[in-house]
Each structure stands twice: as structure tokens, then as C-alpha cells.
Structure 1
Amino acid sequence: MPEHRPGTPSCPTRRDVLAAGARFGTVALVSALVSAPLAACGIRLEGDARRGGGAPERRPLRGEPFLLALRRHSLDLAAEATALGGPAKALPARLAVLHTRQAEVLRTELLRLGVPVSVVDGAEEPDGTATTTSPSAGPSSGPSSTQSPGASSGATAGAVTGPQALAASEAGDLGPAAITDLAGVPAEVLPLAGALLAQRAAAAALLGTPTTWPEPKWSEPSLAASYLQSTRAAVYGFQVVAAQSPTGAQRTLARTTLAVLEARQGRQEALAGPAAAPPPLAYPLPYPVATPAAARKLAAHLLTELLATGARDLGSTGGEAGPLGAVVQWLADTEVLASRWGVALTPFPGLVAPA
């Protein structure tokens, strides 16, 4: 007789099973009655054995179709930007390099997260598994888990050409649906995907197609208060930059940048409400600023720091779509400002992408 260990259910005998069948007269009911104790004894019913005979079915990664679609569209955008030609330092050529890098990094991350190489690389094919349904409706809808980002770019490109067509393709990855899908990806990859969407918005704006963002909805005002601190520090720094940029184009750019950051500060203060603490009288600067050259250097430093803070903030949203969309917008706007101050564009603004 098999040994019975305390704490485990008794294993039914063949007589027990046959007796249950005689009493209830229903195969399905017998299966239901005995399947639990059989399983506890390490016995599988015949149907279960057939189902478990092959390799276990893989459970897709959360947000996997969305991430695969972003990778595929990065390759599409790289090709589209390359096709525009032009000097190596021109914006389309620089974007082609960034999008190629985005595709490489996303591939590495998807493989690291357990997505099979056949699925990741199959997304490049027209009949691949990642993007097989209706095209995106354009910038107002963004990509979803059942859409290919930028799939409408062909129709858009029929109306416009050159950088305008590329801008429309960049903006095709944005919108409320994209933020909803972004909120559904694993927390560990959310900053990477969020920074990529911010780069798309920045690219579209630099190409002449600014993105229209929906009004964010917040359930935690204290979250907006935490973002406010870095904005206030940047506003203070740019007050110094403007003061030390007395004339010319640098003064104009300093005042324009300051106006954008002050508007963001006001919006964050309104979102935070009573949770916003009073601002300090001053913030420390990294070095003395007493000349236009030092002011320009400070501007680049402030915006680089603000990019890094924004990228970190993506991970603090808890996957809530309202704050997440707002942080993506602020990160994109900061990337545009930084570019105008000579800071190089990156594939994932504010992040150091995996090597």
C-alpha cells in the first residue's frame, strides 16, 4: 500500500472511482469529484495528460503587442528618415540613427523579458505576430495593442512629403490610446517605453508638427507636487540664465525657455493644490554664472538634469494614465528645449539606454 503522509488527502482507489460513477452516473461529475484528490496524488486524468503532453503554452508579456509594434515602427521610421537623404547632421539623418538604436534596445529588452526571438524578429515581417489588424487613426488615437503604430503614415504621406510626412509618422505613435497601452506595460520597462514616446513627440515638434495632448486627470495631487520641485529649480536656474543673457538670440531663447517652464510650473501648482509646499527663496547652482557663456552652459546643464528627472518620474506614476501622459508630455517638451540649447537628441530622453 502506498504510504499516506499526514496533511495530504487520501488517494482514491479504483474501487472508489467506480463506486462514484455508479452513484452519480455522470462522467463529467465523476471527473469533477475526483480530479482534485487525484491531482494531489500526482495522478492526471487522461484528458489532462494529453493537454500537458507538449510544451507549455507561453503566457505573453503584459503589453507585448504594444512593445513589439513600437519596435517595428522604429525600424519603419529609420527607413523613412533615411529615405529623405540630406546632410548627416540634418534632423532626418539624426532621427534615422536614433530610431535604429531604439529598435536595437527594444529588441534586447524584449528578449531579456522572455519574449522568444521568433516573436521579436517576426514582428518585422508583414505577416508577423505583433501588428496584424486595423491601422492607426492618426495622432489623435495613438497605437494600441491591436494596432501598428504609424500604420496610417502611408495615407498621410500621400498628402504631404518630406519632413512633414516624417513628422506625421512620428506623431502617429502618440495619443490617448498610446498612453493607455503604455500604462499596461511591465513597470521595469515603462520608463524605456515612455521615454521613447517622448522622443517621438519631440521629433514631431522639431519637424514642425507639435503634438496636442489631452487634459490629464490626476487622482493623487501629491504626485504633481513631487514633480513640481524639479520644475521650480529649473525655473530659478533659467531666471539666472536670462539675467546673464543681456542681448541677442541667446536672450530671446532664454526668455522663451523660461516662459515654457513657468507655464509648466503653474500647471503643476494647480494640479498639486494644497499639497504644493511653498518654494524656497533660491536653489544652489552648480557653478558661478556671471557671463553669457556661463549662462549658456548652465542652460544645457539645467535641461539635461530636467530630462533625467523626467525620465525617473515616469516610473513613479504607478501606471496611472493621467500622470503618465503628463510626464511624457513634459519630457518631450524638455527634449525640444534642450535641443535648441545644443543638447544632443537621444533615443530615450533622460535615460542611459542599455549598451
Structure 2
Amino acid sequence: MQPPSRRTFLALGLLTTLTACTADPRGDRPAGPTPPRDPDTPARLRAIADTDLLLGAYDNLLTVPGTPTALLQPLRDDTVQHRAALVQGLPTASPSPTSTPYRSLPTLAELAVMEHRTAESHLDGFGEVSPPLARLLASISASNALHAAALGDQTPVKTPNGSAEATPATGSAAVPALQTALGAEHAAVYGYGVVGAHLPDDPQRTDARTTHAAHQAQRDAWQRLLTTFTAAPTPAAGGYRLPFPVTGPTDATRLAIHLETRLTTVYADLVADVPAPYRPLAATALRETTLRARHWGAPATPFPGIPG
């Protein structure tokens, strides 16, 4: 199966503002134009503050004898990388990754709730930021959801509604990216038919059937959305070329991992490619496929859907 084609977001533009010079209040030199407000900086600072609280909680818990260090240390390492990526986009230098002192000693359950809440907070208002930052926040949110699940919190993460009102114009702008996502789901539905056929009749096959149904539902959701934009949904192909031969359960599991991992890339790109009102839909799809990829045994990554 050919991997789904990726849409690359490249938005290059130049905004010039003509501003009359006014006298500086001190009267010694003219005041320059007021720099435009950067919507990304407040969002980055909020995300960094939430991440620092998580780091503080991890650090406190890791000092307790008997703490499952093998479980917690990789999650903390991911969180450090989250912070580093968020800091990189700030206009000025920021302190090195550190932790904010946590006022009490959290339990594993409380840490799981913190990860869950952070997954939600990263998506609060992310419709107002630039597409690249929206992609990053959605990816980190998916990682936080994965952490919460690893710590025992299986509660579904709530994705906020889009901050901007959907209009026919924004719907039309979303069509190309949604068609790409639909094509990827067509391929996943086909692929899981192969996965299920090569698994024994046990819980694994049940998982494959459940996942197959989930991809059918996501495929149908994209089709319905495209139809509301009076766009003809791209039909499924008659067949898809598999990335490698599948002859038994091991290959079938490997194919499931391949399908979900490819979809994380598709949906991370979709967050950046669609207009702001549709970002929550893409972020939800990214989170769900991230959790499914890990369920099938994919290696954990701090930035699901963002290679490297």
C-alpha cells in the first residue's frame, strides 16, 4: 500500500504596514511602528506553564522510593522535549527546561489526571494560533493523552469547539486537505481487512474488528463533511498495494502499526492544512490514531505525527 500522500503547509507572505511616525513621549526621537501582536507567544507561554507544572509533579514523584521509574522517566523525558519545542518559537531567549515546584506529592492517579488536563488545555484556543503551532500543540496534546493512558486514565480527552465560525468559504478551503484524509482512511479500511484476516480468532482479531469499524466511522464522517461543502468525496480505490507481504499474525500486527503511524502524520498535517474551525476535528483524529498505534505496539514518540 502506498503511504498516504502528505500535504505540506508552506504559507509564505509579506505583510507591510504603513504607519506614520509620531513623536516619542520623551521628545528625543521618533517612535517606531508598533509591532504586530503575535498570537503564538501567549499560547506558547500558557503551554510552557502547564508543561512546567507537569515536570514539577514528575520530579516530586520520582523522589519517592518504590516509584515506577521505568514508567515515569520516559514520560518525563517526553515532557522535557515538549517544553524545548515550545520554547523554540518564542521571540526571545527563554530559560532552559526546568520544573515548577509542585506544592504536594502527587499520586500516579493524580499525575494521570494532570496529563489528561494538559492534553485538553493545549487545545484550548489553538484555533487562534498559526498553523505550524496548531500542529505542534495538537501533537503534544496527543502525547499527553498517551501519557495519561499509560498512567491509567482512560477518560476520553475533550476537544474544544473551533474558535472561529465555519463559513462556506472556510469549508471550501478545507476540501483538498479533507480529501487527502479521506483517501488515507479508505486505505486504512482496506488495510484492516487484511489485518483481521491474518489474526487468530482471539482478542487481537476482536481489536482489529473494532479498529476497522472505527476507521469506517471516520471515513464516513469525512464523507459527510465533504458533502456539506457540496464536494464529491473521493471514492475508494479497487485495491491498495501493501507496504510488505502479510502472511501471518506478526505481519498483520506490523501492518496495523504501519497504518496507524502513517495516519498520525496525515492528521498532524491536517491540523495545519485546514482552516481554524476544523482543527479540533483533525486534532481528535490525531489523538485517536496515536492511541491506536501505541495499542498495537508502535514505539512511543514525544511528537506523534511529526517525523523527526
* Superposed pair shares fold, TM > 0.5: yes
Structure 1's unaligned 5+ residue stretches are: 1-35, 127-152
Identity fraction in percent: 25
Distance 1:172 1:300 in 2: 27
- Aligned position for 2:300: 345
Query: Greater Rg, structure 1 or structure 2?
Result: 1
Corresponding letter in the other structure for 1:70: A
Distance 2:76 2:217 in 1: 32
- Aligned position for 2:126: 182
Alpha-carbon spacing, 1:288–1:97, altered in 2? closer, same or farther (3 Å)? same
* 1:251 paired to 2:202: no
Distance 1:108 1:215 in 2: 27
- For residue 242 of structure 2, the aligned residue among 266, 273, 285 is 285
**Residue 301 of structure 1 aligns to a residue in which SS?**
helix
**Structure 1 segment 1-355 matched on structure 2, within 5 A:** 47=25, 49-50=27-28, 52=30, 61-85=38-62, 86-90=67-71, 92-110=72-90, 115-117=91-93, 120-121=94-95, 162-175=107-120, 179=123, 181-206=125-150, 207-208=152-153, 209-213=155-159, 219=167, 220=171, 222=175, 223-273=177-227, 274-318=231-275, 320-321=276-277, 323-353=278-308
Distance 1:67 1:282 in 2: 43
Corresponding letter in the other structure for 2:131: A
**Residue 315 of structure 1 aligns to a residue in which SS?**
helix
Quick check: 1:68–1:123 contact (8 Å CA) kept in 2?
Answer: no
Distance 1:347 1:108 in 2: 16
- Aligned position for 1:17: none
CA-atom RMSD in angstroms? 3.2
Distance 1:256 1:78 in 2: 35
How far residue 48 of structure 1 moved from its aligned partner, in angstroms, is 7.2
Distance 1:202 1:226 in 2: 25
TM-score by length of 2: 0.75
Distance 1:87 1:327 in 2: 34
How far residue 56 of structure 1 moved from its aligned partner, in angstroms, is 8.4
Corresponding letter in the other structure for 1:311: A
Alpha-carbon spacing, 1:293–1:122, altered in 2? closer, same or farther (3 Å)? closer
Distance 2:26 2:244 in 1: 70
- Aligned position for 2:13: none
Alpha-carbon spacing, 1:82–1:264, altered in 2? closer, same or farther (3 Å)? farther
Quick check: 1:244–1:291 contact (8 Å CA) kept in 2?
Answer: yes
TM-score by length of 1: 0.66
How far residue 166 of structure 1 moved from its aligned partner, in angstroms, is 1.9
Q: Relative contact order, CA 8 A, sep 6+: which one is greater? A: 2
Per-residue CA distance 1:320-353 (angstroms, 9 max, x = gap) = 13x1011111111111101111112222111135
Per-residue CA distance 1:66-108 (angstroms, 9 max, x = gap) = 1112122223213323444433442x33321110111112222
How far residue 189 of structure 1 moved from its aligned partner, in angstroms, is 2.9
Quick check: 2:23–2:29 contact (8 Å CA) kept in 1?
Answer: no
Distance 2:83 2:283 in 1: 19
Structure 2's unaligned 5+ residue stretches are: 1-19
Quick check: 1:204–1:210 contact (8 Å CA) kept in 2?
Answer: no
- 224-233 vs 299-308, greater mean Cα deviation: 224-233
**Residue 253 of structure 1 aligns to a residue in which SS?**
helix
| Aligned residue pairs, count | 271
- 247-256 vs 100-109, greater mean Cα deviation: 247-256
How far residue 50 of structure 1 moved from its aligned partner, in angstroms, is 3.9
Corresponding letter in the other structure for 1:65: P
Corresponding letter in the other structure for 2:128: G
**Residue 275 of structure 1 aligns to a residue in which SS?**
coil
Quick check: 1:228–1:269 contact (8 Å CA) kept in 2?
Answer: yes
How far residue 261 of structure 1 moved from its aligned partner, in angstroms, is 1.8
Quick check: 1:63–1:181 contact (8 Å CA) kept in 2?
Answer: no
Alpha-carbon spacing, 1:340–1:82, altered in 2? closer, same or farther (3 Å)? farther
Quick check: 1:231–1:265 contact (8 Å CA) kept in 2?
Answer: yes
How far residue 259 of structure 1 moved from its aligned partner, in angstroms, is 2.4
How far residue 168 of structure 1 moved from its aligned partner, in angstroms, is 2.0
